[in-house]
Amino acid sequence: MNKRWAIRDNADDEQVQKLAAELSIDAVLSTLLINRGIKNFDDARLFFRPDVLHLHDPFLMQDMEKAILRIEAAMEAGEKIMVYGDYDVDGTTAVSVVYGFFSKIYDRLEYYIPDRYKEGYGISTQGIDYAAENGFKLIIALDCGIKSVDKIAYANTRGVDFIICDHHLPGDELPAAVAILDPKRNDCEYPYKELSGCGIGFKLIQAYAEKNDIPFEEITCYLDLVAISIACDIVHITGENRVLAHLGLQKINTDPCIGVKTLMEVAGRGTYYTISDVVFLLGPRINAAGRIDDAKHAVELLTATSEEVAKEKSLLINVKNTERKGHDLSITDEALGMIDNDEVLIGKKSTVVFNEGWHKGVIGIVASRLTEKYYRPTIVLTRSNGHVAGSARSVLGYDLYEALCGCSDLLIQFGGHKYAAGLTMHPENVEAFANRFEEVVSATIKPEQLIQQIQIDAELRLRQIEPKFFRILNQFAPFGPENMSPVFISKNVYVSGNAGLVGGNHVKMTVMQPDSPMFDCIAFNHGEYLSQLKKDVPFDICYSIEENVWRERRTIQLNIKGIRFVE
């Protein structure tokens, strides 16, 4: 699929030159900083030197004082406390952080992860009943609960209090909980709004530690789990998240907890993890526990205190991940076949596919794969507990949640955000829903939103890529949403030497410009360009710059995102 190359508007040249002079850096690097809102030396110092001192006061969060007072009261009265969390990476890491911390100082504590298939997402009636019947007086809910108005009302009738720690957008009415920690509350003046669910759990233990004179070093041991949640929940890597991700990655790469260490080993890489590595190597394994079996296995791994337990759980989770891959690939192939063999479906501006036998635990992954292939809003549906459950994914710039609002009368429930959502409907509504969703998308999506885009940050001459430039560029990491790895365009480059295929459809080559040294390149899934890549034929490339490590030898490599021949 051809991709549209979109070059960012130039930053103000006077500002660029002023910052470049102030920091003694290349103007291109100055441009990247200004486009990230960094305008002066002090901004740059905070950006390039993330520090624990840059974390915000947790008591700036609305209801934090109430939450801590209720936890202290529960401990003083000897009440049983339940730590309740979602079954995905953000939820299980959040439970591991909060349970791991409080279990060291209080023993009347348990954790609870709802069953993905029997209870579904969020606070469940079954979970509340379990708490009430087993004498729990307080539930700390993590990564869920902000919209559970009815469930919290029910819990109150059963004598169970809730502290909600959530990062999703609240509805019009807030639940009647003892305390609600959510920076997205309209009345919350906390200075950073994009924390993960686990990040909010971390702020809770930070507040408790501060108030009870527990050294900060007692909570830094959980930063590896916080970084995993930030990476895998795809939250912004800006502000406080950037500090937490930076410190957490340091811990992952130097002193991870036993559970993370053994998981890294079964994933096949022991160290040098980036945010991207966490997303692709650790995240799917942690998620697989809840997708295929029971998310409690993930918490048992991440809270393990012995190597024996950690190894047992990491091997089990790795097996579940292999099983998950099998479901994922077979369902993806089946779904692709359904689309490819249906001319009407191929011609649509949305994709809705349904098979009642598909495994519910992987339909979100399948929806992502179909979106990559056809690049349009996509929903994958399957049967679950007598209803039809679905997972939806969108394309850049298109608000999927708004589109689902236009179909809400056909749904039992739905939730999510602009680019991803989950939904449930009655089986008899599947056909009507597919037609309505196509109508809504067709009426609201712009033609350019159906063409995949490569966002290019700046034009670069290859000769500008020298050691100092690369060293400073590396300090822009950790990369992620709102701070993506910069993509550059270089025009009129030439192949120097031969270009060849590796791994089936990937192009390996060396490129240069007349005034530059040669650079090694890898162009994944660009095999169709190989016959045109000749020594005397100029072409443009867009790429990110990375370090390639091969047998302990480190070199600069261009990771090519697109090739365009000069006309």
Q: Where are the alpha helices (DSSP H) in 212-271?
A: 217-220, 223-232, 239-254, 258-267
pLDDT above 70: percentage of residues in the chain: 100
> How far is it, in rounded angstroms, from Cα 370 to Cα 335?
8
Omega into 478 within 30° of 0, i.e. cis? yes
Quick one: pLDDT at residue 49?
A: 96
DSSP state of 220: H
> Would you say the C-alpha torsion 437, 438, 442, 445 has a positive or negative sign?
positive
Residue 550 tokens, joined:
């091969």
> How far is it, in rounded angstroms, from Cα 534 to Cα 503?
20
**Ramachandran assignment for 55, one of left (phi > 0), alpha (psi -120 to 50 degrees), beta (any other):** beta
What is the band of 1 on the pLDDT scale with cuts at 50, 70, 90?
A: low
- Is the pLDDT assigned to residue 76 strictly greater than 70? yes
pTM to 2 decimal places:
0.92
Burial of 418 (0-12, 13-18, 19+ CB in 10 A): middle
- Is the pLDDT assigned to residue 118 strictly greater than 90? no
- Is the pLDDT assigned to residue 434 strictly greater than 70? yes
> How far is it, in rounded angstroms, from Cα 242 to Cα 48?
10
* DSSP code per residue over 376-394: S-EEEEEEETTEEEEEEE-
- Is the pLDDT assigned to residue 321 strictly greater than 90? yes
What is the band of 171 on the pLDDT scale with cuts at 50, 70, 90?
A: confident
Mean pLDDT, residues 339-362? 93
Stated as kind and residue range, the H or E segment containing 95 is helix 89-102
> For the segment 479-501, what is each residue's pLDDT rounded down to a tens digit?
999 999 999 999 999 999 889 99
Stated as kind and residue range, the H or E segment containing 327 is helix 307-340
In total, the chain counts a number of residues equal to: 567
pLDDT above 90: percentage of residues in the chain: 87
- Is the pLDDT assigned to residue 189 strictly greater than 90? yes
Mean pLDDT, residues 180-196? 97
> For the segment 63-74, what is each residue's pLDDT rounded down to a tens digit?
999 999 999 999
| Average predicted confidence (pLDDT) for the chain | 95
- Is the pLDDT assigned to residue 567 strictly greater than 80? no
Residue 324 tokens, joined:
């998950």
Instruction: Name 463's Cβ contacts closer than 8 Å, sequence gap at least 6.
Output: 513, 515, 516, 517
Quick one: pLDDT at residue 555?
A: 87
What is the band of 418 on the pLDDT scale with cuts at 50, 70, 90?
A: confident
What is the band of 264 on the pLDDT scale with cuts at 50, 70, 90?
A: very high
What is the band of 113 on the pLDDT scale with cuts at 50, 70, 90?
A: very high
Instruction: Name 527's Cβ contacts closer than 8 Å, sequence gap at least 6.
Output: 501, 504, 505, 506, 507
Instruction: Name 341's Cβ contacts closer than 8 Å, sequence gap at least 6.
Output: none
> For the segment 20-53, what is each residue's pLDDT rounded down to a tens digit?
999 999 999 999 999 999 999 999 999 999 999 9
- Is the pLDDT assigned to residue 371 strictly greater than 70? yes
> For the segment 291-301, what is each residue's pLDDT rounded down to a tens digit?
888 999 999 99
Cβ–Cβ under 8 Å, residues 157 and 141:
no
